[in-house]
Amino acid sequence: MSTTAVPGPLPTGTRSTETHCPYCALQCGMTLTAGDRPATLVPADFPVNRSGLCSKGWSAAELLDHPERLLRPLVRAVPGDRTSPLVEASWDEALDRVVEAIGRTQERYGRDAVGCFGGGGLTNEQAYQFGKFARVALRTSAIDYNGRFCMSSAAGAANRAFGLDRGMPFPLSDVAAADVVVLVGSNPADTMPPAMQYFDEGRARGALHVVVDPRRTATARNAGLHLQPLPGTDLALANGLLHVALAEGLVDEAYVAARTTGFDDVRAGVAAYWPDRVERLTGVPVEDQRRAVFALARAPRAIVLTARGAEQHRSGTDTAQAWINLALALGLPGRPGSGWGTVTGQGNGQGGREHGQKADQLPGYRLLSDPAARAHVAGVWGVDPGDLPQPGRSAFELLDSLGTDGGVRTLLVLASNVAVSAPDARRVLSRLGDLDFLAVSDFFLSETAELADVVLPSAMWAEESGTMTNLEGRVIRRRRALDPPVGVRDDLQLLAELAGRLGAGHLFSADPETVFAELGRASAGGTADYSGITYRRIDDEQGVFWPCPATGDGEERHPGTPRLFTERFATPDGRARFLRVEHVEAHERPDADYPYVLTTGRVLAQYQSGTQTRRSRSLQLIAPTPRAELHPDLARQLGIGPDDVVELATRRGRARFHAAVTDAIRPDVVFAPFHWGGGSSANALTDADALDPTSKMPAFKVCAVAVVRIGGPAERIPAPPTAGQPRPSPHRRQPTREAHQPSRRRTATVKSTPRFLQGVYPITGEGLSKPGPVDPALRYTVPSGRSAQALYFRGGNSTGELVYVLLVRDGEPMRWFPIGARSDTHVPLRVVEDLTGGTVVELHAAAPEGVLGEVVVDLGLVEV
Ligand code: SF4
C-alpha cells in the first residue's frame, strides 16, 4: 500500500451519477447530475426510499458550492495562540503543524496524549482508516466517535441479548408486512419521512401502529395508539407490558424454551411491575398498556422498534434490553415480518461502529481486548499485535479528559462538531480550550473548527467514493459525482498523508476500493464480516447485507444476510439471552429550582449539529430558528405566548429559544431541538454526569429544567448573558491506578450519618397484592461515593385490617413488614447489607381494597 494511490480526476462534461443522500441512516438513493454546471439531484428508485426524499435530501446539492465552504487549510496567525485569527495556509504548512504537535505531545506526555474523535458520517473506509491510523500510525488508545452519543445503548443491548448488533436485523420492507409495529422513542415521520411509506403500506392493510413518545409527534398522530410516558420511564413500561403478558398467558413458552435462556429471572423481576404501579411510574393508563400488549401478542407478525428516545438515558442499554425481553417473550425475533430492531440515526451510524473507530473495537466488530482478534487484525495490518494499544476511554470520558494529566493534549477531529453535539456542551467547550493543540477536518467552519489551531478543508459526500451501511445493515456505494474544489482533500487522503509524515505511509492507501478490500480482510471471521462484499457486487445487487463472508474458489458466493436469527442467534449456544433489568430514576429529577423535565431531539428540516443544514437556504425557510415546545397549560402558567423568546436553564447552562406552544407535549415536559449552538445550544443544558454503565451513553433525554419568558417574538434570539451562565464543572479526577496501602492509623474522616424515612401517612387500599408508593418523602437515594445500611423498621396501623409496608430497593421488593389491625411492629434489620451510592430505597404500602386509614412508618438507616 502507498499514499500515492489517490483516485484521479473525473472526466470533463456533464454526467449523472447514482449515489445516496449525505444525511440520515435511511441513505436514500438519488441521481446527481454535475460536471459543467451546478449539481442538481432527483430521487432514485432505490429499494429503500423507492423514489422518495425528504427536504434535507432534496436540498443536499445546495451546499456543494456554498460560499462558506472551506477551500484552503487554515492555521492560527500566531502558532499556539488561539486568540490570533485563522489565516489561510498551504497543505504542507498545515500538516507540518499537525505532525509537529503530535510529536511534541507524544514525546512529552506519551502516546495516549494524542487523541482522535470521529463521526457517524464517515464512510466505512474512512472510519476503518481512522481506527487503524490511531492504533498503527499514532499507537494511541484514545479514539472514539460521536456515534457513542447515538447508537451505543441499543448496540450494547443487542450484543448482550443476540451476540450481534445490527440496527435492524431485517429489511425495512418487513415493517410493511408487520400487523403490529411498536415504535418506542422514534419519530420517522419527521426524521426520515420516506420510511413512512412502509408504515403507510402496513396501515393500508389494517396494521396497528403503537407509538411510545412523550410528544404527540407526526408519527404518533398517524398511529392507532399513542402511549405518552414521562421521559425516562420506557423501561418500566416494557417491564409492565411483560408483566401483563405473563399474567394473561400471552408468552410464547415454546419459543422461550427452544430459543432463549434466562427467562425465569426476568419472569421474577417483572412481577414487581403490576399495571397500576406502572401507570403511576409512567403515566400510561392501564387499559392502554393492556391494549398494546394484547395487540402485540395476538398479531401474526409484530415488530418492536426502539430509538434514541428510549436509548439516550443513563439506563439506555437496560431500556433497550427491556423491550428485547418483551419481544423475546412474545417469540418475535427471527420470524419474517417480526422482531426487535433499533432505528439508526446518523448516515453511517451502523458502519461507523463496526470498523474500529470505537475505543474498544477492531474491524469486523471484534474486541480490542481479545488476543485472537488483535492477532488477526494485526496480521492484516502488517504490525505486531503487541504494538496495538489496549481499549481507551469512551467518547464523553475522552472529551472530559482533554487537557488533564493523563488525558488527551492534542486532538484530531474528523466529521464531528462536538461543541454542539456533545452533552453538557459548555463543559466540553471549556475542555477543548484546555487542549495544547486541536486540529479539525470539516467542510465548514463549525463551532468546533472555530476553536482549532489547524482547520483542514474536506471533501463533501458527492466528491468522494466509499461505502456506507444503512439502518438495515445494507452496505451501499457512495459514488463520486464531481471532483472536490481545488485545495480540498477527502479524509481518506488526509489520513494516508498524515500516516506518511508519521513514518507509516507504506501501510495506508488513499484509494477507497483498496481500503475497502483491506477492511474486508480485517473483518473476515468477525461478527460484521464484509469479506465477501465487493464494489461490483454492491453495484449489481443494489447493496449487500452483512454478514457476507468470502467463500473459497469454486464455492457458491455467500448471498449476504437480509434477515438475521432465523435459525440461531449469534451467541455461543445459539440462544438469545433474557436479562433482568430494573427501572431506575433519572439522574436528575425536577425540584423547586428546576421544576420541569427537559427532553431533546431532532426536527424535520435539520440534521445533527446543523453544520450543514443550518447553512441551507431552503431548509432555513422551513426551520429558521430553534423552537422549544411547551404545553399550553405550562405556557399560560408562565405567561408565555407563541413565538416569545424563552430561556431554559439547567444546572449546567442557559439557552434561549422561540416558544412553540403545543398540546402535543406533556404539561410537565419541555422539548428543545439540539441542532443549534451558541446561545441556543440545547446541549449546553443536557446532563453528562451519569453515563450508562454499559454504553457510556449520557442522559440526553432527561434533565431538570426551569423556564422563563425573556420577551416577545423577535426575529433574532439574543444569547443569554455570559455573566448569568453557571461555570462549567471542573475536571473530574481520574481514578488512580495505584493500589491502596493499608494503614493502622485511626481516621477521623469517616463520618456516619443517621437517616430516617418516617412520618404518619394516609393510606388507601387497592388490594394486599398491590403495594404502591405512599409519599415522595419516603424515598432516599444513597449519595454517590457513600454507602448505607438499613438498621430497623417500626410501623403502626390505624385501620381495622392487616396492612403491609414494603421496603423497595431500586424498584425491587426487599422486605415485607406485616402490621396487624390497629397494631404496631418493630423489626431489627440485622442482615448487614451495603446499599451503595446511587441505590434508591423507598417504602411502599398495601392494604385490602377500599380500606382507608393511616400508617406510621419509621425506617432507620445509617449512611457512611
Ligand atoms: S435525510 Fe434521510 S430520509 Fe431524508 S433524504 Fe436523506 S436519507 Fe432520505
CA-CA-CA-CA dihedral for 124, 412, 307, 838, to nearest 10: 140
| Nearest atom in ligand 1 to 22's CA | 6
Q: Are residue 413 and residue 377 in the same domain, yes or no?
A: yes
Confirm whether 628 is domain-assigned. Answer: yes
Whether the pLDDT of residue 386 is over 50: the answer is yes
Same domain, 187 and 314: yes
> CA-to-CA distance for 510 and 488, rounded, in angstroms?
14
Residues 167 and 232 in one domain: yes
Report the distance separating Cα 7 and Cα 464, nearest Å: 9
User: Quick one: pLDDT band at residue 751, thresholds 50, 70, 90?
Assistant: low
Identify the three-state secondary structure at position 494: helix
Q: 24 CB less than 6 Å from ligand 1? A: yes
Query: What are the φ/ψ torsions at residue 598 (nearest 5 degrees)?
Result: -100, 130
126 shares a domain with 208: no
Higher pLDDT, 818 or 71: 71
**Percentage of residues in the chain having pLDDT higher than 90:** 65
Candidates 19, 21, 616: which one to mutate for ligand 1, based on the most atoms within 8 Å of Cβ? 21
Q: Which pLDDT band holds residue 391 (cuts at 50, 70, 90)?
A: very high
What confidence tens digit (pLDDT) does each residue in 786-796 have?
888 888 888 88
* Range 512-526 average pLDDT: 97
pLDDT at residue 185 is higher than 60: yes
28 in contact with ligand 1, CB cutoff 6 A: yes
Which residue, 286, 317, 342, sits at the end of a domain?
342
Same domain flag for 620 and 708: yes
Grid cell listed for 752 = 456516619
pLDDT at 228 over 50: yes
Average pLDDT of span 143-147: 90
Range name among 161-170, 328-337, 530-539, 672-681 with the lowest pLDDT average: 672-681
State whether 134 and 165 are in the same domain.
no
| Residues 857, 795 contacting (CB under 8 angstroms) | yes
**From 386-390, 726-730, 793-797, 832-836, the region with the lowest mean pLDDT:** 832-836
DSSP state of 37: S
Q: Do 193 and 316 have their domain in common?
A: yes
Judge whether residue 203 has pLDDT over 50: yes
Residue 21 belongs to a domain = no
Residues 265 and 242 in one domain: yes
The answer to whether residue 32 is domain-embedded is: no
Q: Average pLDDT in the 358-379 region?
A: 96
Which residue did the predictor score with more confidence, 197 or 1? 197
Distance 369 CA to ligand 1 centre (A): 36
Amino acid letter, 648:
L
Domain shared by 763 and 699, yes or no: no
Binned at pLDDT 50, 70 and 90, residue 6 comes out as low
More confident position, 221 or 740: 221
| Neighbour-count burial for 764-775, b at 16+ CB within 10 Å, e otherwise | ebbebeebbbbe
Q: Which domain holds residue 640?
A: 596-724
Closest residue by CA, ligand 1 atom 2 = 24
Residues 686 and 793 in one domain: no
Q: How confident is the model at residue 697 (pLDDT cuts 50, 70, 90)?
A: confident
Task: Return the residue whose CA atom lies nearest to atom 6 of ligand 1.
Answer: 57
Residue 738 is predicted with a pLDDT of 40
In a domain, 157, yes or no: yes
Is residue 319 domain-shared with residue 384, that is, in the same domain? no
Q: Which of 491, 509, 527 is the last residue of a domain?
A: 509
- CATH number of the domain to which 611 belongs: 2.40.40.20
| Res. 604: pLDDT tops 80 | no
Parallel, antiparallel, or unpaired for β 835-836 and 787-797? antiparallel
pLDDT in tens, 546-598: 999 999 888 999 999 999 999 999 999 999 999 999 998 888 888 999 999 99
- Report the domain count for the chain: 4
Q: What is the CATH number of the domain that holds 304?
A: 3.40.228.10
Ligand 1 atom showing the smallest separation from residue 43 Cα? 5
d(CA 185, CA 213): 5
Q: What pLDDT, on the 0 to 100 scale, is given for residue 374?
A: 97
| Domain-located, residue 233 | yes
Q: Is the CB of 56 under 6 A from ligand 1?
A: yes
Tell me the three cell numbers of residue 526: 468477525
In a domain, residue 515? The reply is no
Task: Check which CATH number belongs to the domain holding 385 and give it.
Answer: 3.40.50.740
Quote the mean pLDDT of the chain.
Answer: 91
Q: Is residue 452 in a domain?
A: yes
- Residue ending a domain, among 476, 491, 509, is 509
For the Cβ of 21 lying below 6 angstroms from any atom of ligand 1, the answer is yes
Q: Read off the pLDDT band of 755 (50, 70, 90).
A: confident
CATH no. for residue 805? Answer: 2.60.120.1340
**Domain presence at residue 202:** yes
Q: How far is CA 429 from the centre of its chain?
A: 20
Closest atom of ligand 1 relative to the 58 alpha carbon: 5
Note the pTM of the prediction, 2 decimals: 0.82
Same domain flag for 192 and 312: yes
